[in-house]
Amino acid sequence: MALPFTGTASLQLHIEEISRCVARNVHAVVLLDRAGWHTTPRLKMPHNVSLIFLPSRAPELNPVENIWQFLRANWLSNTVFDGIKHIIDAACSAWNNLADLPETIRSISLRKWDHTGQSLCDALGNPVELGITP
């Protein structure tokens, strides 16, 4: 899902998309920082999705920060875009490139001090095998 904005409405769309894509009888857990639109009580949560919030002011606990850094460094830096469509196309292309590199994702997002992270990745396995559809 690529949107030209972020906020409560976009997060609601994202949560609904996750809910729709998760297999029947599977529960999705989404890890989020505490941005205002993540913590608003205005979100309508589907029965098969739960949110878990990271502690405030702890970006080192949020692996997506490193993912964004990798995307910018490898596919999105030093570029002048002609408009929002080109920005979205480039971001989607970068995400698709990264999705083809599961070991890179693992190496970027795991923390040396987090001994449960590797076990969790090993236990979770392939998202498609878990009933999560792209």
Give residue limits of the domains in the chain.
1-57, 62-134
**Using one digit for the tens of pLDDT, what is the confidence trace for 40-67?**
999 999 999 999 998 888 877 788 888 9
Question: What pLDDT shows up at residue 80?
Answer: 92
Q: How confident is the model at residue 115 (pLDDT cuts 50, 70, 90)?
A: low
pLDDT of residue 57: 82
Is a pLDDT exceeding 50 seen at residue 130?
A: no
* Range of weakest confidence among 29-43, 63-77, 103-117: 103-117
Give 118's strand partners.
none
pLDDT at 126 over 60: no
pLDDT tens, residue by residue, 62-75: 888 889 899 999 99
Burial track 46-73 (b if 16+ CB lie within 10 A, e otherwise):
eeebeeeeeeeeeeeebbeebbeebbee
pLDDT for 108 equals: 86
- Determine if the pTM surpasses 0.85: no
Place of tokens 């995400």: 95
pLDDT mean over 9-32? 94
| Amino acid type, 73 | A
**pLDDT level of residue 91 (50, 70, 90 thresholds):** very high
